Amino acid sequence: MDVHRELEFRGIGVSPGIASGPVLLLKADDHPLPEYAIPAEEVPREMIRLEAALIETRRQLHEIQQRVGEAMGGESAGIFEAHLHVVDDPSFVDEVYRDVREKRKNIEKALFEVSERYAQTLLQMDDDYLRERATDIRDVTRRILKNLMGGGFDLLAGLETPRVLAARDIAPSEMAAFDRRKILGVVTELGSPTSHTAIMARAMDLPAIVGLRDLCGRLADGDRVILDGVRGVLVLNPSPSREEDYGRIARSRSIIQKRLATLKEEEAVTLDGHAVVLSANIEMPADVEAVWARGARGVGLFRSEYLYLARAGEPSEERQYQAYAEVARRILPESVIIRTLDLGGDKLPASVKIPEESNPFLGWRAIRLCLARPEIFKTQLRALLRASAHNPNLRIMYPMVSSAGEVDQAGVLLEECKAELAAAGVAFNPDVDVGVMVEIPSAALTADLIAPKVKFFSIGTNDLVQYTLAVDRVNERVAHLYEPTHPAVLKLIRLTVEAGRRHGIWTGVCGEMAGNPILTPLLLGLGVDELSASPGAIPLVKDVIRHIRFSEALELAEAARGMPTGAEVLERCRALVRRAAPEILELAE
């Protein structure tokens, strides 16, 4: 076998750009975790050791957060809020102490086992973003363990020339500690577009690919590679002709990116004057900075789940209010749509006692759980109402609605919360808009019954596609069947939009389809009024909108109505974008 033969690997491109150079293979920590029994009299000493390690970890994280904030902005620094929550979480620390006392284990072993219990809970989630939070738990735990064991953190010490970093995974605190000048790009076996490793790579302007399974066993230190962070392609031992091709692509993309950056202040309006609301999806308050930086109009989806996962206990009304109010104030005068709790019973803190389910994806979760546990739901609703006093355009959105009856039940609880706040003299917007996510086929099919009860629809295409096609998109065996342009999915989108129009309400899309510029003309042609995407996708989507005519989008949607396969629809979409904004295909494919 020719060890120098050119090989190509495909993963998920999460940070755009092209890098070319030698590899540095980062090995996992090889220090064995100490495990031994301790006598009762040693328990206090173990607890003192942990407290000292927590104090040092907290100091290190604050230092990293400050350095990242100064160098990369609040969005990236905000990542470490979740890490600090772990260190400061009394429930987490108490659970470690309890294991030490009751099981008489050394503190390192007890800390690791408690951390893994938390991480495994997160890994079972069906949401990529929430699943990736397991990495945060493990990152903090690794740092605490190193402080307990006296380990170091400089993984690039002694590196003289810049390298492409390759690893099974790279923790965000490790990324933050790296010297940017020593890194050309990043590739990992694990991760997703919502992982903090991906977020840090984008903030550091490093080309990055994740999800390159079993890669590290094929690489060695010093191997030459080309990394394409747009297409998710890694080329090992590139030929001279491949090097030349990627050099040309890199120059072309650089020119395009510079032009897209000038669109920040421009409106999302088609050539024939059709305006589209282009907003952003965010995860935490610190992400608001990216909304403005990318030229979005407000927040189309603020996921509130991080508040329930950053700490072990259920978040208080005050803590939730502070987070919602911060976003509401910072996004003025634009709107912010805050989605109520979208977790299953198996993902909530241990303090919320709910039986396990064999199939939580189709079970007691989101609005179903909230209606069954009104004490949890009303705490969030009161916090949201209080935050609405800071921004008249704060809107509330219920997830996983399957029937009009659920909207009625939620409305009763919302009115109760309004009455409670009014009686207490607490300010709120009594006319706050309420909408629903359309992500279950039954909601789309009964949209005419739901529409009179709400002010807007927001189509969550990720779940709508999965539920409609019975496809788990993270299951490798069936992921190829996940097809957003499938005729059934397009029909459900069309039904939702048309029902909304009949009842005088607007319809948005907040799933991944909204951030795919190739599908932008199709969604406009289907009648969607608002697109809400990740901040990084905003310039690409806006550019396509500004290069097409609304009449072309209508023709595309009408043609799609008669196409029997999603592949045909996708190719027609691609052809329109290729004709109107060909440079976007350079960045989107």
- Both tokens of residue 496? 């939702």
Q: Which two tokens stand for residue 251?
A: 């120059």
4: Cβ–Cβ under 8 A, 6 or more apart, which residues? Answer: 237
HSE-CB for 371 with a 13 A CA cutoff: 19
Q: Within a 13 Å sphere around the CA of 469, how many CA atoms are in the beta-carbon half?
A: 24
Measured between alpha carbons, how far is 253 from 266 in angstroms, rounded to an integer? Answer: 21
Distances (CA, A) of 23 to 145, 175, 200, 224, 226: 28, 16, 19, 6, 10
> 547: left (phi > 0), else alpha (psi -120 to 50), else beta?
alpha
CB atoms within 10 A of CB 150: 7
DSSP three-state, residue 196: helix
Which of the residues are catalytic?
196, 510
Strand pairing report for 336-339 and 394-398 = parallel
Determine the Cα–Cα distance for residues 516 and 523; give it in Å rounded to an integer. Answer: 10
C-alpha 113/C-alpha 486 separation (Å) is 44
| Angstrom distance (rounded) from CA 264 to CA 267 | 8
CA distance 516 to 495: 21
Helices (H), 350-460: 366-372, 374-388, 404-423, 441-445, 447-450
Tokens representing 186?
Answer: 């990043």
